[in-house]
Structure 1
Amino acid sequence: MDFEPSDDQRLLVESVTRMLGDTYSFAQRKTYMALPEGYSPAIWSQFAEQGLLGLPFAEEYGGFGGGAQEVMLVMQAFGRVLVLEPYFPTIVLGGTAVNVAGSAEQKQAILPAIAEGSLKLAFAHNERQARYDLTDVVTTAKRNGSGWVLDGSKTIVSHGEAADKIIVSARTGGDRYDEDGITLFLVDATASGVARRGYLSRDDTRAADISLSNVSVSAADVLGEVGKGLPIIQRVIEAGIAATAGETVGAMEAMNEMTLEYSKTRVQFGNPIGSYQVVQHRLADMFMTQEQGRSMAMLATMSIDNPDQAARAHDIALAKVGIGQAGRYVSQSAVQMHGGIGMTEEYAVGHYFRRCMVIERLFGDPAYYLARLAAEVG
């Protein structure tokens, strides 16, 4: 894949960067956090007007026919300002699930509504006991005539309380850890038996725990093939890892710029701290680590469309380890270089640090993926 941006991609980045520059200062972000939704509905509407919500969808569904590279570029811009809006769960996670597994009717009903900003999705797969095991599903779906009845619970669902529809994984067959027997369902968030408890995550974004008690869905709400949901879930997670890798690169760029500027203005022992060689070495290390992380984000993006599942999973694991380690080093170094002010809520660098730490553990931490890579050669 050629990673030199095309003219259209440059225009996309310039457009998104300009919009965020006008609307997403750190002070403005704090006001969005204080809104009941935990983000700005007005900004969400601007995303729709600029075509960002339909970016990866086919033109026949109201989209722009973009791909993983365009999504990575947008997420990188979002990472530079720590965007709070539910772009990631709606477009990347939910949108990927519908794109990969949805029927023509489901795509026609869902994707244009997402693109115009009137429909938000959440992807509810994680369960409290599962940790990072995608096969560990105890939420059940049982036949009820031509439909299904869902019972169980999901945890840490990104923007789960804001979603209009929730994509829920449930076991329709097999035992707890079986790869077969997992099915995805489209559940109306206001359906009887659905309860959501929203809360603020450590990175300032919203999440929710969702319980399902005797929730009825129809056969038309099944996403993909019954009992064959795991490959879809894996594709969704891979898309999520690639997108958040791009977001981490944007966050690292912002932290490096902030730290460089701080080193020029913070005076210690009569000189700017940036004049000391040890500080210069750390700044150089942070920049090199950022660029290594960028390479890992590119690897993840390049791997998304690889039809070889094993090769795709291998490259995604490599990228997850690399971007996690890079984000940790740069964010920790940025906080340390700022000293005490870096630990305060009023200063932005600590918020970037927390977002990078959440991303590092999202869908599995580096140790988990290192163990998977070791198993391949063991």
Structure 2
Amino acid sequence: MFYSKQVDKKSTETIPQIIGNAYGKKARTASSILLSLGMFIHINGQIIACAALFTVVLGMSITKTAVIVVSLLVAYVVFGGFWGSTMVGAVKTILLYGTSIICGLLLIFKFNGIRDITSVLPQEPWFNLFSGGVSSDLASGISTIVGVLSTQTYFQAIMAGKDSKTSRRSAFLVAFLVFPIGIVCTMIGMYMRIHYPSIAPSEAFPLFLMNYLNPVFGGVCIATVLISSIATGAGLTLGIATMFVRDIYVQCINKKAGDKKQLYILRGTIIFIGIMTLIIVINNKDSMILNWGFLSMIFRATPIFIPVVAAIFFKDKIRMEAGIYSIIAGPLASLIWILLGFEKMNSIYIGLTISIFVLLGMSELFRFRQGIHDTGHSKS
């Protein structure tokens, strides 16, 4: 609903283009760099999720699995592009939804999962929605919402709709589908915590598929999860590469680049992202997947969300000069907050608040100075 009004205009391909139209070229370039950084962080979490499947199923080392998964991701996006990922995504969605619901039904009715979960796991922290603290856990939700609204991949999907009505319906459908899958996966994680407490969190779901399901159905489920994780990583990779070509390369490096040249740069960027991801994943093999996701949302949201909202709804009331400072100040404030040792998730509040103050404060300051100048000019 947030972006659907932009669909009929068809005037932008990237979120930084919205920012550029409102705040200028420098703001567009800065937003592209920061948004790409946030999306890149999330790709690493997706690769770790994929690697867990190979380590559990085939017993391979993290280095070998990372090489395989990154190669699959790069090939997926280079040879398929956006529409390739979209068509596979349609099949993936059906498979993921169907297998998740079946797993949930088996867990509840065949393995008495609810009984085990409620009788073994204590109320705290397992059944408290805010067990990590109200402020911190709300920040997780807020960072996810504003992070999604600040991500090129989701914007690109909405803009691909044939009209705003189709895009709105798609958004509602996706929102409806998210809840059952999330609940089922949470239950499976809690069930595996009881029966396999020593395993790595990333191995919980693939181990459940291997140990508790029919081998054929379990194989289909594992393949579905693999495709889902690679498709998500590929979508983020394509989003970063698209922003680099459209918002940095063409705007700042080679303004006369033709379509063929841009395609080569796009593919080269995708390969470079794959190599960097491989290096990082190998050196962070035991990290939590969700930590990467939440950290990514923070660095996607703080530089982008407030400036984009202002650009779409209050473009004529915000000064261009304020945009670039707001884009930089938000993530910088969040980063300083984290480096000082404060709660990582609460940094989303700091970043968004600073972004708002800078955007509004500089606009008001400009008006104040303009008023003084006009008054002085009239007196003279």
TM-score, with length taken from structure 1: 0.28
Q: By percentage of residues, which structure has more strand?
A: 1
User: Whose RCO is larger (CA < 8 A, sep 6+)?
Assistant: 2
Q: By percentage of residues, which structure has more helix?
A: 2
